[in-house]
Amino acid sequence: MAKIGVIGAGSWGIALALLLSNNGNDVTVWSILENEIEMLSKEREHKDKLPGVKLPESMNFTTDLKVAIEGKDVLVLAVPSPFTRSTAKSMKPFVADGQIIVNVAKGVEESTLMTLSEVIEEEVPQAEVAVLSGPSHAEEVGRGIPTTIVVGTKRKKTAEYLQNLFMNDVFRVYTSPDVLGIELGGALKNVVALAAGIADGLGYGDNTKAALITRGITEIARLGVTMGAKFETFCGLTGIGDLIVTCASMHSRNRRAGILIGKGYTMDEAMAEVKMVVEGVYSAKAAMGLAKKYEVQLPIIEQVNEVLFENKPAAEAVTELMLRDKKIEISQEWEE
């Protein structure tokens, strides 16, 4: 049995806390919100984020970050990406040398263009940082629906330890050393999911969505490989797998926000309606910053940025994508 602190009591944090508790571990969940911790302690259920998912009496809840961190074998950092740096900074005084932090949020920091694991390593240099990502809606993991995911680490030993910690008969965990590729796939698929939702909101069909998914993963892989990630990662669970589930499911807050934007809502109106952090909005500008830095073309993500931040009509963005210069799909020599 391991002692685990889950930092963040949103839907994903609670779903993973329940999974780890069901695996026989001693789990403590932290939130900065006193009313949230009071609800979880009293009701044994997150009625706002994961209604109907009951939490065991053995699970502990606290607003004291020190209590959630000290003496724990593993820390699961599950706050929304815009709060990763500030939360990591608050965690630093209590984190021991070599303590494992598993980041489960998805995003790229807009101001620095750093991945979230890089942000955590900068703020908590004494920790060993890992990432957990893949096609995994909290609403389904919380209900025990079979799910497959990837853990990324720099050390094989740590990857295998975390694989054993999280894995059970409904939660299959693969391991990978490609931390960069895992994080880029997880962050940028949210931007493409906004595009897929916008297409849905405009009333387009399956053909359009298939095009966005396939050309979207091409963009993500193009950037990732240029940055040093492995192409195979984008063909796997944290690439095309995560992109499919986020573009297709109504569990996806990014797709839901995109649908509203396609129907004429502003970005702010859509985010208010979804009532959860829409990670793709925060990653969109960062993606374009990376594209510029590495001189990579990201036409879908570029159009999403213009719709989000430049008030470009969504239908016009789709037209521009369709009327781009003619391209070939596969780069190889033709037969004469």
Q: Is there a catalytic annotation at residue 189?
A: yes
Assess whether 149 and 295 both reside in one domain. no
Amino acid residing at 42: K
Question: What's the whole-number mean pLDDT along residues 41-60?
Answer: 94
Rg (CA), the chain: 20
* CATH code: domain of residue 15: 3.40.50.720
**b or e along 220-256 (b: 16 or more beta carbons within 10 Å of the residue's beta carbon)?**
bbbbbbeeebbeebbebbbbbbbbbbbbbbeebbbbb
Amino acid residing at 260: L
| Token code pair at residue 279 | 């990670």
Domain-ending residue, one of 125, 150, 177: 177
* Alpha carbon distance 277, 153 (integer Å): 26
Give me the sign of the Cα torsion angle 296, 302, 305, 309: positive
Amino acid residing at 335: E
Assess whether 138 and 203 both reside in one domain. no
Give the rounded distance of the alpha carbon of 247 from its chain centre. 13
* Alpha carbon distance 25, 45 (integer Å): 19
Task: Kindly report, residue by residue over 289-313, the tens digit of the pLDDT.
Answer: 999 999 999 999 999 999 999 989 9
- Weakest-pLDDT range from 14-18, 79-83, 104-108, 326-330: 326-330
pLDDT averaged over every residue in the chain: 94
Helix 253-262 / helix 179-201 crossing angle, nearest 10 deg = 30
Residue at 335 is within a domain: no
* Alpha carbon distance 172, 164 (integer Å): 10
Domain-ending residue, one of 127, 150, 177: 177
CB-based contact 265:210 (threshold 8 Å): no
Task: Kindly report, residue by residue over 212-263, the tens digit of the pLDDT.
Answer: 999 999 999 999 999 999 999 999 999 999 999 999 988 888 899 999 999 9
236: closest CA among 123, 325, 151?
A: 151
* The pLDDT of residue 318 is above 90: no
Terminal Cα-to-Cα distance of the chain (whole angstroms): 65
Residue at 329 is within a domain: no
Catalytic residue among 189, 209, 230, 285: 189
- Residue 48's contacts (CB-CB under 8 Å, 6 or more residues apart) are none
| Token code pair at residue 166 | 């999280």
Question: What domain range includes position 313?
Answer: 180-322
* CATH code: domain of residue 223: 1.10.1040.10
| pTM of the predicted model as reported, rounded to 2 decimal places | 0.93
